[in-house]
Structure 1
């Protein structure tokens, strides 16, 4: 087996809205984070500001946790939504959390915004979070690491619960016209979990999830993996690189759109790095084994 290599993230998996955008739009915050039409407007303005080729939603990593009962501070025009108070202290409480209802709440509004933007002909990127990032909204990480260390079977049950929810989220994204899905778990990287737990997470959660996503998405959709996730897969011999030659220098985000239909996964660079250019015209797709 190879060794998992960490990716030094300069973005810290951050999403959000800068002050120039919030000052430009005539919206009230935090209400703007709660409704599909204001979300869509913000996504369009961010696309213009970043000179990007896609509209990205949501503007935080809290929608899944909130939809499972988490308590969120919606923030304001300067700081987006973030976790407020933990609601769980035990594995049993995590396992008893309700299934996500995609017809109500902020997660429903996110999907409505995606559908609106897709119908307008935009490339729509939906950011989804991995289990540790979601659990950061719900429970103190110290409890999770204790469960992981002392009761792997219970941890597997927790992973299975979150895998089911994320697969449902991907299915709803497909229905809403999303053609780009970003998967990241900033709270579950090698630098936080350590080599042993990082390897176990790939085997117990990440690889099984992505194999099922591979079967779920159509050929008009691509999954953009956080490089931390990519290197974890490569380091556990669960994936390999596959070069796709585009024939000319191209920005990474543009390349991701160009190869939709040719690959299901990419992940050599963070999608937030708008300036990253593939000078040799080659993008590395990720092939699951």
Structure 2
């Protein structure tokens, strides 16, 4: 029986942009989700609104899917970009999707915004989506789960394609100065996949991907895992916790920054919980087996 523990997520990824954020920065929508200068302004404004120490990009979970050919509704200040319509119904169509070109489109603009913010001295957290979040923007879930259950060998090829794209995105982000990557795939969690499929996904996708990511991170970057992903790795014996004593109480995200060079991964709490303080002064690193 699976030992994976589910993490009950209570945070919405995008809660809208209120007038407090936009009234003094002269940006328009949906340009703020599409052009790097507007993205950077919006990221700084949200940081100030939330009294945070980190800028966060992008403002949605559709970026990678769009770069693969997905059709996106960009939304406005009330709701961020989201899937507009599906473009695939079969595994073969997914496998025929083009490789991501990181030099053009919205994904290139996000990387430009990251570079600009880092050059201005801002700390940036880049959100990277996992396979089910990406696929749910490209294909109706009923088709996806049919492939997953009835064509596992084909699903493996799809996973390999997405591994390459996600790794490539992280590599480009590192080149752009990003040193904190947040990885999440809530639509591929235990509560949706169930124990058996969750274990299979860790074995054929999640663990191999993070071994590859581990190899490219170096000592100056860290990946903050969604706890759903962290607990899946831990529950299948692919990773272990390791306590790091920071010597004093700090906020969780600050602790993640401090342990760069001493850990490649962490993930004990959702990073949307910006008020979480590590009162004990101990943060948990995740070491892959």
Q: What is the distance in 2 between the residues matched to 1:27 and 1:124? A: 20
Alignment correspondent of 2:30: 30
Equivalent pair of 2:246/2:282 in contact (CA under 8 Å): yes
Partner of 1:183: 183
How many Å separate the matches in 1 of 2:227 and 2:155? 24
Contact preservation (8 Å) 1:16, 1:60: no
Partner of 1:218: 218
Post-superposition Cα deviations, 1:203-257, rounded to whole Å, max 9, x if no partner, equal 0100000010000112110100000000000110000000000111111011111
Q: Which residue of 2 aligns with 1:257?
A: 257
Q: Could you say which residue in structure 2 is the equivalent of 1:271?
A: 271
SS for the counterpart of 1:196 is helix
Runs of 4+ that moved beyond 3 A: none
Once the two structures are TM-superposed, the CA of residue 2 in structure 1 deviates from its matched residue by: 5.9
Gaps of 5+ in 1: none
Partner of 1:68: 68
Any conservation in 2 of the 1:183–1:225 contact (CA below 8 Å)?
yes
CA distance in 2, matches of 1:93, 1:146: 14
1:18 aligned partner? 17
Name the CA distance, whole Å, in 2 between partners of 1:40 and 1:285: 30
Distance 1:160 1:56 in 2: 28
Q: Structure 1 residue 15: deviation in Å? A: 3.2
Bigger shift: 179-188 or 24-33? 24-33
Q: Which residue of 1 aligns with 2:242?
A: 242
Tell me the C-alpha RMSD between the 2 structures. 1.1
Does structure 2 retain, via aligned residues, the 8 Å contact 1:227–1:270?
yes
Match of 1:280 in 2: 280
Number of paired residues?
Answer: 288
Which residue is equivalent to 2:103? 103
Find the aligned partners of 2:14 and 2:4 in 1 and give their Cα distance.
25
- Measure, in 2, the Cα distance between the counterparts of 1:16 and 1:181: 20
SS of 1:109's partner is helix
Contact 2:58 2:126 in 1 (8 A): yes
Runs of 5+ unmatched residues, structure 2: none
How far the C-alpha of 1:18 sits from its partner, in A, is: 2.7
CA drift of 1:173 comes to 0.4
Q: TM-score, normalised by structure 1?
A: 0.97
Task: Report the counterpart of residue 167 of structure 1 in structure 2.
Answer: 167
Give me the whole-angstrom Cα distance separating, in 2, the residues matched to 1:199 and 1:268.
19
For residues 143-199 of structure 1, the C-alpha deviation after alignment (integer angstroms, 9 at most, x for no partner) is 111111111100100000000000110110011000100000011000111111111
Q: Within 1, Cα distance between the matches of 2:197 and 2:50?
A: 36
Equivalents in 2 of 1:147, 1:163: separation in Å? 17
Q: Distance in 2 between matches of 1:200 and 1:207?
A: 10
